Chains A and B, each alone.
Chain A
Amino acid sequence: MKKYIFWTIERALLLFVSLIVLFPIFWMFLTSLKQPRDAYSISLNFQPTLENFAKVFADPWNLGSMVMNSVIVAGVTVLISVPCASLAAYSFSRFRVKGRKTLFFLVLSTQFIPAVVIVLPFFLMFRSLGLLDTRIALIIVNLAIVTPFVIWMIKGFIDAIPVDSEEAAMIDGASRLRVIRDIVLPMAAPGILTSSIFCFILTWNEFLFSLILTRRDAVTLPVGLVSFRTERGDLWELMSAAGVMITVPIFIMAMIIQKHFTRGMTAGAIK
């Protein structure tokens, strides 16, 4: 009997947690399908429409260009930071050189610097270089946030790969670079993919840099959300449609790395 009560409570709690997690997301998806008049009521009885998605992609919102900005900024940031971080992570993981700990400490601690500190000088610099409101500016500042984090994560994955096969190959006369390319990279591939997706998510969701450094041309999706606050009030149904556009690609990616997620995160953070 006691066991049965406990069983029920446990299930009930889990259902409650799932409800809290899913409800705000569910409500956003639902609102994105509502006509303006229905968005201002909580009734579930409404005629669903895809109009909002057509609207946000048309003038004056032009969500399409923000999607492009977000994809390019996040994509290029990943393409630059992940290869560089992978090499550094290998070095941190395998070589016992002097000053390694200090260097690693330095790299790690930069991760804890508030973004608002970094963005001030960059704002001034980009202003004098005429780079404000460009994607390049966003990519440069995003590298600051993402690179130390990716080094940390990939190092966790490389640490988990046994060194034996590397040593064996080197005894057979393979060079260190070949070992990295032919043995370490393939084995670390799932970890590197996970880190890449992580890095993509971080950049995709980044808000502060884009808010400060862009005005019109290089605005990314999260900042685009703010533009649905108009003099006529908040256009919730359009905001929700834009929200769905921000969320769906990221949710798909998050699901892809779901299995590795826990391992990557905890490996990086706890070790």
Chain B
Amino acid sequence: MQDRFLSYALLIPAFVIVLATTIYPLAYSFITSFREWDLTRQRRPGDFLGFDNYVHAIAEAGFQNSLWVTIIFVITSVVLTLVLAMSLALLLRRKGPLHTFTRIILILPFAMSPALIGVSYRFMFNPEFGVLAVGLGAIFPSLKGTPWLADPDLAMAILVATDVWHWTPYMTFMCLGGLASIPRETEEAARIDGASGFRIIWEIVLPQMKGVLLVTAILKTIFALKMFDQVVTLTGGGPGTSTETLAYFVFNVGFKWYDMGYASALAWILTLIMMLISAWYVRMLLSDNIKETA
């Protein structure tokens, strides 16, 4: 009886925080998303517009562009991060001084501020004195004088690169955790039977990693959907609007144009996309838990 009381009591402080800092603002912006509220003209929220803000979003070129930019960004960054993380985890699985060293320094990109990563890549890709721009130009003469961040496709590629650089370490650790939990016996047996290393990885290791890879993919997708910091410090959404992700677009609408109603509607569209993906993810987590305890 006492436990039952305690089990809820212990939850209260954290629950109050979560309620006040996420549930309440969510509800507030949900309501705002159905109203007209231009901060430059109205001090208080204006009339209810029904679904006008949402309809407006779907028809607007700026929103469509940012949706498209986000889709391209998410797909490239998730695929690249996953492939690199899995490969790196396979490399790092063995023991050795160089392996240990790599594993230790791998935590650094993850700990680095994403805003700072954006700044430092912008510096390195400056066409006149950026070390990577100049260096690549010296190695591949055809790349000399490439206006890296002024080119829409290259700017997107560099944006993806900063994100891959930032997240691959974390995802590598997750893959390493997964690799550590699969039994080695089948692999050993296959090796004794003379199967090649490549076949062992492809036919024995990877199928067992399916669950972990799926979890990693969904997590990375959610992180990529939120992409904001490097857009501000690396490209500023440009050139033009070619790297304007959804989060950045919402930011512009809300805090440059001060259109709160429209910004809230946009934010909720982003939330719904993420909710769908994360609901799927959490359900998978919980069903795994059930299997484990059963």
A131 at the interface (CB under 8 A from B): no
> In the bound complex, how far is the Cα of B91 from the Cα of A11, in angstroms?
9
Interface residues of A in 209-243 (CB under 8 A from B): 211-212, 221-223, 225-226, 234, 236, 239-240, 243
B14 engages A151 (CB within 8 Å)? yes
A185 at the interface (CB under 8 A from B): no
B86 to chain A, nearest CB (A): 13
Interface residues of B in 67-100 (CB under 8 A from A): 88, 91-92, 94, 98-99
> In the bound complex, how far is the Cα of B10 from the Cα of A19, in angstroms?
47
B28 at the interface (CB under 8 A from A): yes
Chain A contact residues, majority secondary structure? helix
B286 engages A103 (CB within 8 Å)? no
B29 at the interface (CB under 8 A from A): yes
**A144 closest partner in B (C-beta):** B21
Q: Using A42-B129, A271-B292 as known contacts, list a sample of 19 further A-B pairs with CB atoms less than 8 Å apart, ordered by residue number in A.
A: A10-B94, A14-B98, A27-B123, A40-B128, A85-B14, A87-B10, A105-B286, A109-B282, A114-B247, A114-B267, A115-B228, A116-B247, A117-B250, A120-B29, A120-B263, A124-B28, A176-B6, A205-B113, A251-B108
**B112 closest partner in A (C-beta):** A247
Given contacts A110-B18, A112-B222, contact A31 B10 (CB under 8 A): no
Given contacts A14-B102, A239-B123, A266-B174, contact A116 B250 (CB under 8 A): yes
A200 to chain B, nearest CB (A): 10
* Contact count A vs B, C-beta below 8 Å: 279
B104 engages A258 (CB within 8 Å)? yes
B293 to chain A, nearest CB (A): 10
B106 engages A223 (CB within 8 Å)? no
A19 to chain B, nearest CB (A): 10
A97 at the interface (CB under 8 A from B): yes
Interface residues of A in 81-98 (CB under 8 A from B): 81, 83-85, 87-88, 90-92, 94-95, 97
Task: Determine the chain B residues whose CB is within 8 A of the CB of A148 once the complex forms.
Answer: 18, 22
Task: Determine the chain B residues whose CB is within 8 A of the CB of A147 once the complex forms.
Answer: 14, 17-18, 21
> In the bound complex, how far is the Cα of B226 from the Cα of A236, in angstroms?
27
